[in-house]
Structure 1
Amino acid sequence: MSSPARDYVAINLANWNSRVPIHAQGYELPRFREDPRHLSAVVAFDRARLGDVRGLDVVHLQCHIGTDTLSLARLGARMTGLDFSEPALVVARRLAADCRAEIDYVCSSVYDAVAALGAGRFDVVYTGVGALCWLDDIQRWAATVAALLKPGGRLFVREGHPMLWSLSEPRPDGLLVVEYPYFNVEGGTLFHEKQTYVPHEGELASPDSISFNHGLGEIISALLAANMRLTDFTEHDSVPWNPLGDAMVEDARGEWRLREKPERLAASYTLQAVKG
């Protein structure tokens, strides 16, 4: 009998592999090819807090099809991208080649990143929105991040807020309802979603996924235990996709926030920490 850990990885890998051809169409890849200055909306949002990355060795964990990875390379970083989906990396490598960007893409799980890439190699570990929820063990993630970094190296995370992940679709009267766990639960939470988060026709070939919510205290405590020093924590009232349907409205930057009283919800956060 396979272990629960292997089950969730296999289920999620099938899910993400099935998203790749849809995301390759929905992520507006031609814009990257046509305009060498174009950045993903995610990295454009992060840029002010991220600071100058020119000449730095940066690894993007859970990089998917590489639009954020390419954007960071365009800001002058020496980029490595890591993801567990080889089909996603095929798209990422093709995009980088088309854009004449030198990016090293490696297929590996996050937990095996040190073995795949080497310890103490990077000035920055970058993790984008919608990544941590796919990991069952945040302590192991934090230890991996610390091992990848050089002494004094920095972690940069912008992530969906665990409060957002706990919400269901809004009720007809507009109230937000907490339906899913805020704290991590053993075995995660199973979802069956026939559509991904970009508009498309048809249904995902593998609609099942298992995600793991991690409370802010759990994440911060894991980083502190891994000898990481917290240097910035900022909560935002927006996210770069629409998670709550008609309850949200898009702004000029492509960020989505609550249509009514957006101050009710911390939708995402930026966390930075330094090794040692």
Structure 2
Amino acid sequence: MKRGDETVADYREINRANWDERVPAHVASPGYAVSRFTADPGFLSHVVRFDLPRLGDIAGLRGVHLQCHIGTDTVSLARLGASMTGLDFSAPAVAAARELAAATGADATFAEAEVYAAPDVLGRGGFDLVYTGVGALCWLPDIRRWAGVVGALLRPGGRLFIREGHPMLWALDDERADGLLVVRYPYFERAEPMVFDQDGTYVDTDAAFTHNVTHVWNHGLAEIVTALLEAGLAVTALAEHDSVPWDALPGKMARIGDGEWRLADDPSRLPHSYTLQAVKTG
């Protein structure tokens, strides 16, 4: 349940406690399919599989996965031939990612740091690919600062690849039982966070949690594109999709296969997610 908008001294500590506590449930969940990675050397996360036609050949690239969580997408990118570094602010998530990489022999290393510190932790201008997966940007209060991080990490000619939940989706009321799509939350970035208190998580689990408060922000699509342009990147591709890899609007969505969900009733009404690519100029 949304409790209202509040400003906090350090949103990171609140959000980190939430993520830290949920790592064991995510590692054990069928949704992340950790056991399949160790059983099948060719297995890829459904998030990465969805974007294979757009990713192209990444063999031999040096890549960084920002906000990598437990590393399933990071390992998947390594299985496509990239030498990957994952970065996340959650120590338990980084530990789980390292265990997965060791168990699978993936060319993937992991660092513990918050995303805005990535250039100082990982170095500047040395990456061919910056990858960001679904459900990452909403945890960041400043999209221009994030774009600056991307620009600092990439070498000239290096590429950003991101698939995210669409900001229109994030703005909808996900608690309505009447089937209506109603805009409830901000579409544009605001200085103050939206504060939620929710006791579950997005995977099926019987686990009970105590750290349930989160602070999140939305970022409009034009805000994201403009921030990247200001950071010295040229947008090379932008596609909107009518599906997302989780049940974003419970009671209104249907599974369509390979981990994707879309509105059961006329999905053409709503952009569910988007894929954006950009190249560092200069």
Partner of 2:17: 14
1:78-97 aligned within 5 A: 78-97=83-102
Partner of 1:261: 266
Uncovered stretches (5+) of structure 2, i.e. residues with no partner: 1-6
1:4-153 aligned within 5 A: 6-26=9-29, 27-153=32-158
Provide the TM-score with structure 1 as the length reference. Answer: 0.97
Check the 8 A contact 1:170/1:247 in 2, yes or no. Answer: no
1:244 pairs with 2:249: yes
Whole-Å separation in 2 of the counterparts to 1:6 and 1:232: 37
Partner of 2:193: 188
Deviation at 1:104, TM superposition (A): 1.4
Q: Deviations over 1:116-158 (max 9, x none)?
A: 0000110010000000000111111101100100101000010
Check the 8 A contact 1:170/1:176 in 2, yes or no. Answer: no
Q: Deviations over 1:56-94 (max 9, x none)?
A: 001000000000000000000000000001110110000
1:204-215 aligned within 5 A: 204-215=209-220
Structure 2 residue corresponding to 1:234, chosen from 239, 254, 262? 239
Uncovered stretches (5+) of structure 1, i.e. residues with no partner: none
- Residue-pair matches, total: 273
Q: Which amino acid aligns with 2:147?
A: A
SS in 1 for 2:125: coil
Whole-Å separation in 2 of the counterparts to 1:168 and 1:91: 33
Check the 8 A contact 2:82/2:107 in 1, yes or no. Answer: no
Deviation at 1:170, TM superposition (A): 5.6
Structure 1 residue corresponding to 2:224, chosen from 216, 219, 224? 219
Deviation at 1:218, TM superposition (A): 0.7
Provide the TM-score with structure 2 as the length reference. Answer: 0.95
Check the 8 A contact 2:177/2:251 in 1, yes or no. Answer: no
SS in 1 for 2:226: helix
Deviation at 1:6, TM superposition (A): 4.5
TM-align CA RMSD: 1.0
Whole-Å separation in 1 of the counterparts to 2:130 and 2:210: 32
Q: Which amino acid aligns with 2:12?
A: V
SS in 1 for 2:51: helix
Whole-Å separation in 1 of the counterparts to 2:8 and 2:93: 22
Whole-Å separation in 2 of the counterparts to 1:40 and 1:259: 24
Deviation at 1:168, TM superposition (A): 1.2
1:275 pairs with 2:280: yes
Whole-Å separation in 1 of the counterparts to 2:256 and 2:140: 30
1:169-180 aligned within 5 A: 169=174, 171-180=176-185
Percent identity for Structure 1 against Structure 2: 57
Whole-Å separation in 2 of the counterparts to 1:14 and 1:64: 13
SS in 2 for 1:12: helix
Deviation at 1:108, TM superposition (A): 0.8
Q: Which amino acid aligns with 1:202?
A: A
Partner of 1:201: 206
